[in-house]
Amino acid sequence: MRSKFVLHRFYGLISLLFLLSTAPLSLRAQTQVVLGHSAVELTGPWKFHTGDDMRWADPNFDDSGWGTMDLTPRSGSTSLMYGTGGFVPGWTKRGYPGYSGFAWYRLRVNIQNAQDARAGLALKMPAHFDDAYQVYVNGQRIGQFGRFTNHGVTFYLSRPRTYPLPANLRNRPTTIAVRMWMDAATPFIAPDVGGLHGPPVLGQPSYIQALLRLDWEDLDRALNGEFLLSAILLQVLLVAFGLYWLDRSEHAYLWLGLVCATSLLYLVVVLLGYYTAWIGQTPVEFLEDVVLIPAYIGLWVLFWGYWFRLERMGRLHGVVWGLVLLLAVGMAMLRPPLYGRAVPVHGMVWLLPLTEVFKLLLGAMLVWVTYRGIRRDRTEGLLALPAVALVVLSLYQEDLIVLRIPVSFFPFGFGINLSDLATMLSLGIITVLLLRRFLQGQQERERIRAELQQARSVQEMLIPQHAPQVPGFTVESVYLPASEVGGDFFQILPGDDGSLLIVVGDVSGKGLKAAMTVSTIVGALRGCTARKPSEVLAYLNRVLHGQVKGFVTCSAALIAADGAVTLANAGHLPPYLNGKELPMEGALPLGMMDGAEFSMMHFQLAPADTLMLMSDGVAEAQDEQGHLFGFERVSNLLQRPISAAEVAAVAQNFGQEDDISVLSVTRTATMKAVPA
C-alpha cells in the first residue's frame, strides 16, 4: 500500500517471433510465427487465513477450512491513496477490519502446456502490498521482501520483485503460499490496507522481467511529481535563503527556506525509501511522521506569522512548538516501534483522535495567523490567501484519504497527488509574493537611503566641513561618521574679541536618532549667547535634559586671542595639549541630571601649542579581534606632531566602530586680547 506506482494489469503477453528468411529466389518466402509464450495472473481465488504457522507452507496442508481471497481487480477499482487502477482492496476492507500481523495466502496451480520445459518459470509479486512477505513454492521458500527474524519484521516501502521458481514444476500440481505481515500502524494510512493489492503473475522469466520493467516504469511515472516538486523546492529554498542573505531583516525568507528544507528532506527520505533498501520502513515512518511532518506543519504556521509580520512571535513560537511536540509524541505512539509493543493496539481508540486534534489545532493556528494577517494588512493578507489555502490542502491530504476522497491522479500519464500539486501551486504564488515583497523592500531601502543622504546633507551644513580661518589660530577638523549620519558634533564659533569658542561632543548611540540630537544641539548652540564654557554646557544640559534618551558628552573651550584657555567638560574625553592629556575632573554627561554644574579649568596656549580634542570613536576603535585602540595608543600617537586627519585615519584604519571626530587648534601668532 505504501508503494505509489501503478499496478499494471496484465492480461497475458503474446509474443510474435518473426523469422524472415532469405530464401532462394526460386522458393516462396515464408514467415514462421510461434504463439503461446505467456504469463498468467494468479487471481485465485486464493485461500486465506490470518495468523501464522510455518506448516501452512507445506503443500500437503489441508486448507479447505480457510476463507478465500479473490485477487481479481474489479473494473474501475482504484487506490484511494495513489489513484492507480487495477487495485485490489486489502483484507481490512474484505472481512478483516483492523487486523494486522501475519496472514497467509495459498493457491494450488497446475502448470501445463509449457512450450519450453527447460526455460524455467518465474513469479512476479504485485508492486502493492502491506507490508512484507515470504513466498513459498511447494514448501520451499523462493524469496521474501522485508527481513523476518525472531525479533520481528523489518519492512520497506513496497517495490516490484520477481523470483525464479524451482525447476520441474511443469505438468504437476504446485502450491504457492505467501506469508504476509502487516504492521499494526499501517491501517492508519488508508482504509483499504492489508496483504496483496494485486495478483502475483506466473510466467516465463523473459516475460516476467518485461513486466518487472513495466512496474518500475510505473513507479518512475508515479514519482515524477516528487522529482518535480523536489526541483521546485530546491529552487524556492535557494531563492528564500538568497533573499534572506540580502535582507536579514525579513525573517519570513529564512522560515520559508526552512519549510522548503524540511519538505525536501522528506522527499529525499521518500525517494530513498522507494529506490533503495538503505533504511527500513520503521525509521522512514518515524522520520517522516514523527519528526518531519509535525515540524513541517509548524514551520508553515511560523512562516506565515513572519510573513504577515504579526506581533508577539515569541508567543506564537511557544504555542506552535508546543503543539508540534504533542503531535510528534502522539505520532510516535502510533508508529512502529512503539505502537503494538510499548503502546497497546487498543490505545489507538484515544490516541488517534488526540493526535488528529493536535494536527487540526496546528491547522487552526494557520487559519488564525491568516486571519490576523488579513486584519493587519488586508491587501497583503488577501493576496496570500490562495497560497495559504493550498498549503492547508497539502498538509491535510491524508485526512482526505480517510474521508475516502481520491488524492492521486495520472493526468497525461504523469503521476501527481493533491498534496504535491497544492504545494507546487502555493510555492509558485509564494515565490511571486516573495519577489514582490523583496522589490518593495528594495524600494523602501532606497527611500531610506535617500532620506539618510538628505540628513547627511543637512548635517554637513550644520557641522563645518572646513574649519574657519581665525586670525592667530590654525584650526583643523575631521569628521568621519560611522554611518550616513553621525552622533559626533563640533562647532567653532569665533568671537568679536578675537576669541574662539570650540564645542565638541558625542551623542550616545549612532545613526539618524543621534543625528537628530546633534541637530538640536547645534541649533541650541547657535542661539546661545553665553561664551563662558561652564555656562554653555549648563545651557545645553537644560536643553537636553528630559529630551534625549541616553546622554551627550561635551567639551567646551574658550580660547582668548592671547591664548588664555578656559575649559569645561561634561564626560567628554579630556583634550590633549601638545600630546599630553589634560587632567580633568570627571563630570556627568549632558542630559543626565537637571541643574548640573560644570567646573572649569584654565591654562595658557603658548604660540605653536596645539590643543587636540577628539571623540571616543578614536580610543574605542576596534580591530577584527575586538581589541580596543585604547587611550595608551592615543597617547603614543600624539607623542609626535600629527594632524587631526592623521589621527582620525589611524583610528579608522584600526577598525572604526563609532563616529570619529578630531579637532585641533594651534596657536600661530601672538595676539593681544581685545577688551570686551
Partner 1 sequence: MTTQPAPMTRVRVDQAKTGNLSSLTVLRFSGDITGTSNDAVFGAYRQVPADTRKLLLDFTKVEYINSSGIALLIELLMAAQKDNRTARSFGLSPHFQKVFMMVGLNQYIHHFPDENSACAAF
CB of 569 to partner 1, least distance (A): 8
Which three three-digit cell numbers place residue 477?
577638523
> Mapping DSSP to helix (H, G, I), strand (E, B) and coil, where does residue 509 land?
coil
Residue window 385-424: x/- pattern of binding to partner 1, with contact defined by CB under 8 A: ----------------------------------------
Q: Choose the binding region for partner 1 from 45-53, 281-289, 328-336, 580-588 (rule: CB under 8 A).
A: 580-588
Interior/surface letters 498-522, b for 16+ CB within 10 angstroms, e for the rest: bbbbbbbbbbbbbbbbbbbbbbbbb
Q: Choose the binding region for partner 1 from 40-48, 444-452, 468-476, 545-553 (rule: CB under 8 A).
A: 545-553
Q: For residue 256, give the H/E element and its range.
A: helix 251-275
Q: For residue 371, give the H/E element and its range.
A: helix 348-376
Q: CB of 10 within 8 A of CB of 72?
A: no
Interface pick for partner 1 out of 3, 175, 589, 663 (rule CB under 8 A): 589
Interface pick for partner 1 out of 174, 204, 508, 517 (rule CB under 8 A): 508
* Residue 631 touches partner 1, criterion: CB under 8 A: yes
* Residue 486 touches partner 1, criterion: CB under 8 A: no
* Residue 619 touches partner 1, criterion: CB under 8 A: yes
> Mapping DSSP to helix (H, G, I), strand (E, B) and coil, where does residue 439 land?
helix
Q: CB of 494 within 8 A of CB of 473?
A: no
Q: Choose the binding region for partner 1 from 334-342, 343-351, 461-469, 650-658 (rule: CB under 8 A).
A: 650-658
**For partner 1, which is the closer residue by CB, 222 or 552?**
552
* Residue 588 touches partner 1, criterion: CB under 8 A: yes
With a CB cutoff of 8 Å and minimum separation 6, the contacts of 559 are 473, 499, 500, 501, 502, 565, 605, 611, 665, 667
**For partner 1, which is the closer residue by CB, 183 or 620?**
620
* Residue 511 touches partner 1, criterion: CB under 8 A: no
Q: Choose the binding region for partner 1 from 143-151, 372-380, 458-466, 565-573 (rule: CB under 8 A).
A: 565-573
Interface pick for partner 1 out of 394, 620, 665, 666 (rule CB under 8 A): 620
Q: Which of 114, 85, 311, 104 is nearest to 198 (CA)?
A: 85
Q: What number of other Cβ atoms are within 10 A of residue 438's Cβ?
A: 17
Residue window 169-188: x/- pattern of binding to partner 1, with contact defined by CB under 8 A: --------------------
Q: Choose the binding region for partner 1 from 363-371, 414-422, 463-471, 614-622 (rule: CB under 8 A).
A: 614-622
CB of 598 to partner 1, least distance (A): 10
Q: What number of other Cβ atoms are within 10 A of residue 302's Cβ?
A: 27
Q: Choose the binding region for partner 1 from 127-135, 322-330, 424-432, 567-575 (rule: CB under 8 A).
A: 567-575
Interface pick for partner 1 out of 658, 660, 661, 665 (rule CB under 8 A): 658
Q: For residue 490, give the H/E element and its range.
A: strand 488-494
Q: What number of other Cβ atoms are within 10 A of residue 194's Cβ?
A: 28
DSSP result, 541-553: HHHHTTTSSS-EE
Interface pick for partner 1 out of 44, 363, 498, 574 (rule CB under 8 A): 574
CB of 315 to partner 1, least distance (A): 17
* Residue 541 touches partner 1, criterion: CB under 8 A: no
* Residue 160 touches partner 1, criterion: CB under 8 A: no
Which three three-digit cell numbers place residue 629?
585602540
* Residue 654 touches partner 1, criterion: CB under 8 A: no
Interface pick for partner 1 out of 92, 138, 553, 664 (rule CB under 8 A): 553
Q: CB of 10 within 8 A of CB of 41?
A: yes
Q: CB of 427 within 8 A of CB of 233?
A: yes
* Residue 587 touches partner 1, criterion: CB under 8 A: yes
Pairing outcome for strands 161-164 and 46-50: unpaired
**For partner 1, which is the closer residue by CB, 467 or 507?**
507
* Residue 351 touches partner 1, criterion: CB under 8 A: no
* Residue 506 touches partner 1, criterion: CB under 8 A: yes
Q: For residue 408, give the H/E element and its range.
A: strand 408-409
CB of 549 to partner 1, least distance (A): 8
CB of 100 to partner 1, least distance (A): 52
* Residue 546 touches partner 1, criterion: CB under 8 A: no
* Residue 39 touches partner 1, criterion: CB under 8 A: no
**CA dist 535 → 84, 237, 264, 542 (Å):** 91, 62, 69, 10
* Residue 612 touches partner 1, criterion: CB under 8 A: no
DSSP 357: H
* Residue 489 touches partner 1, criterion: CB under 8 A: no
With a CB cutoff of 8 Å and minimum separation 6, the contacts of 442 are none
**For partner 1, which is the closer residue by CB, 76 or 626?**
626
CB of 626 to partner 1, least distance (A): 7
**For partner 1, which is the closer residue by CB, 336 or 574?**
574
Q: Choose the binding region for partner 1 from 16-24, 312-320, 605-613, 619-627 (rule: CB under 8 A).
A: 619-627
* Residue 127 touches partner 1, criterion: CB under 8 A: no
**For partner 1, which is the closer residue by CB, 311 or 632?**
632
* Residue 655 touches partner 1, criterion: CB under 8 A: yes
Interface pick for partner 1 out of 509, 531, 601, 609 (rule CB under 8 A): 509
List the interface residues with partner 1, window 433-452 (CB under 8 A).
Answer: none
DSSP result, 210-250: HHHHHHHHHHHHHTHHHHHHHHHHHHHHHHHHHHHHH-TT-
List the beta bridge partners of residue 48.
67, 105
Q: CB of 200 within 8 A of CB of 123?
A: yes
**CA dist 531 → 406, 527, 557, 567 (Å):** 87, 11, 9, 11
**CA dist 635 → 557, 583, 607 (Å):** 20, 13, 22
With a CB cutoff of 8 Å and minimum separation 6, the contacts of 371 are none
**For partner 1, which is the closer residue by CB, 432 or 593?**
593
DSSP 140: E
* Residue 161 touches partner 1, criterion: CB under 8 A: no
CB of 454 to partner 1, least distance (A): 25
Interface pick for partner 1 out of 551, 567, 605, 647 (rule CB under 8 A): 551
Interface pick for partner 1 out of 571, 577, 648, 663 (rule CB under 8 A): 571
* Residue 527 touches partner 1, criterion: CB under 8 A: no
Q: Classify residue 563 as left (phi > 0), alpha (psi -120 to 50) or beta.
A: left
State the number of CA atoms in the 13 A half-sphere of 531 facing the CB. Answer: 15
Interface pick for partner 1 out of 37, 159, 572, 667 (rule CB under 8 A): 572
Interface pick for partner 1 out of 592, 601, 637, 645 (rule CB under 8 A): 592
Q: Which residues bind partner 1 (CB under 8 A)?
A: 506, 508-509, 549-551, 553, 571-574, 586-589, 592-593, 616, 619-620, 622, 624, 626, 628, 630-631, 655, 657-658
